[in-house]
Structure 1
Amino acid sequence: MTATPLVDRADLLTAAEAVEPLPHTVARLATLVADPYSDIREITETVSLDVSLTADLLRRANSAALGRRSTVTSVRDAVVRLGPSTVLSLTLASRVGSRMLQPMPAYGFKRGALWERSVAASIAAEVIRSRSTVPVPAEVGTAALLHDFGMVVLGQHFGKHILDTLALAAETDGTDIVETERVVFGLTHADIGGTVAEAWGLPRTIAVAIREHHEAHEGLSPVSAAVGLACAMSYEITTREADPEELESMVARRHEVTPLLGILRLDHDDYHDIVATSRERYDELADRYGA
C-alpha cells in the first residue's frame, strides 16, 4: 500500500464538520456534566428548555425497571434519580442512535450492531468509572457512546463500495483496519469522530477521548483510558457465541489494554468483573426495550 492518502483529507474533515448539528440544549448539557462545579439547578434548567427531552426523561425515570414506587413528576427529580451522566447519555442516544443503525460490513457490523456496541461501551465506561480508584470524569459514558461515530461519517461520505474496498485492502495486506484507514484516508474514524464532537460543541475531553480510543499508552488521561478500555470490552459484552477467530481477537484485546488498566489502577481480574457486570446491565437494557 502506498503511504500517500488516496483521498482528500481536507474533504473528509469538511464532511465531518458538516454533520447535522446537535440541538443547543444537548451541547449545553454536555458542558455542564463535564464541569465538576455545575449543579443540579443548572442541569435541570437546561433540560427543561427541551420539551421532547423533558418528556423522554420523565418516562425513563419512571420506568418500572428502576424498581421505584414513587412517581417522578419533575425534571429535577428525574435528574437526581438517573444522575447527570446518564441523563446526558440518554439525551445523545435519542439524537444520534438512529444514525448508527446502518450496517457497516467493512467493520464487521450488521444492521444495528454498531449501535449495540456503542451502547455496550457506554455501559462499560460507567462501570469502569465506578470501579476505578482514579477519578474518571462524568462525561466518560457519553464519549464511549460516540467513540465510533466517525464510521457513520465515512459510510455516508464514501458508501458501501469504498468501505468494502478498504476492508479488502486491510485483509490483503494483513494490517489493522484502523491503520488502513490512516493510509487510505490520511486519518481514521477516530479522528473524524473527534472532529464531529468538536463541531457539535461538546467538551474537549469527549473529543479527545474519541480521537484516542484506539491508543493504549501511559500518557493517556483517565477518560481516554476508560473509553479505550470500554471499546475493547464492548465486543465481549455483546458477543454470545464467538468463533475461534473472534476468541483469538478478544484475547489479543485483553493483552493490548494492559496500559489502560494501569492508568485506571485496575487489573485483569477487574477487567473480567467489569465485563460481567456490564453484560448484565446491557442484557437488562435490551430486555427492557425489546432490543
Structure 2
Amino acid sequence: MQFSPLTTRLGAEVQGIDLGADLPNDVAGALYDGLMRHQVLFFRQQNLSPRQHLALAESFGEVDPGHPVYPHVEGYQSIVELCNEGNSAPDTDDWHKDLTFRAEPVFASILRAVEVPTVGGDTLWASMSAVYDSLSAGWKSDLEGLYAIHDMGTFRNDYLRKGGVAAVDEALAEVGSAVHPVIATHPVTGLKYLNVNQSFTRNIVDLTQGSSDEVLQYLYQYVRRPEFQVRFRWENDSVAIWDNRITQHYAVCDYLPNKRHMQRVTINNDRRGG
C-alpha cells in the first residue's frame, strides 16, 4: 500500500489496496494510520458492493444507523443515497462537517462514486488543523475556551417542504442541538483544530447574535482559503474516506443537469483511537 500526498496539509491518494477484500489487521491499521496523518484518503477503481461498503466502514467503528433527512440504498438503511440531476440541486454545496448538531459528532465517512458526470462534480476538503495553525496568536487566544451551539441548519428546508412550520418545529425538537468547543483537540493526533462550520453552527455561547455573527463570518471566510484545501476529481468507483472531526468538505454543484450519484456510509465512533 502506497500513500501519495496531494498537498502538504491534507489529502493522499492510496494505491495497492482492494477495499472490498477482507483487510488483515496490519493493513487495516496502516490504513487508519494514513487517515490520521492525511485526514482524507482517495482511492480509484474500487467497485464496492453495498455489503462491502458497509464492511469497510465497520472495520473502522460503529456505523451510523441512518441519516435523518437523506434517502438510503434499498435494503441498506446505513448507506445514504446522494443523487442529483436535472433540476434536483444538492444541499451539500456549502462548507460543512457532517452532523455536528449531535452531542457526539461522527468520526468519519466513506463516500463512493456510483456514477459521476464527465465534467464537474468535484469535492473539496479543508483541514481545520491547518486553519487553526495559521490563525494569529490573538485569534487563538480569543477563541480558546469559547463554545458554540450547533443545530440542523438548512435541513429545516427539507422539513418545511414536507410539512410546513409544524414539521420544522417537530424536527427541531426531535433532532435537537449540541454545544461544542470552538477550538477542539483531536483525540488521536493531539492537533488543535477549528470546530465551527457554516452549515450547522448557529451562534457562540454568551455573545450577542450580532457579535457572534461577526466572529463566525470571519472564520467561515478564512476556511475558504485555497491553501487549506485539497480538491478531488471523481471517477466512477472512486472512494474517499475522511476524518470528519478535523476536516470540512464542499461538494461543488457545477454539473447539472447531468447526473451525479454517490453513496455514503457514516462511522459514528473511532474504534481504535477513541
TM category (shorter chain) comes to under 0.3
Structure with the largest fraction of helix: 1
TM-score where L is the length of structure 2: 0.28
The structure, 1 or 2, with the larger RCO (C-alpha pairs under 8 Å, 6+ apart) is 2
Structure with the largest fraction of strand = 2
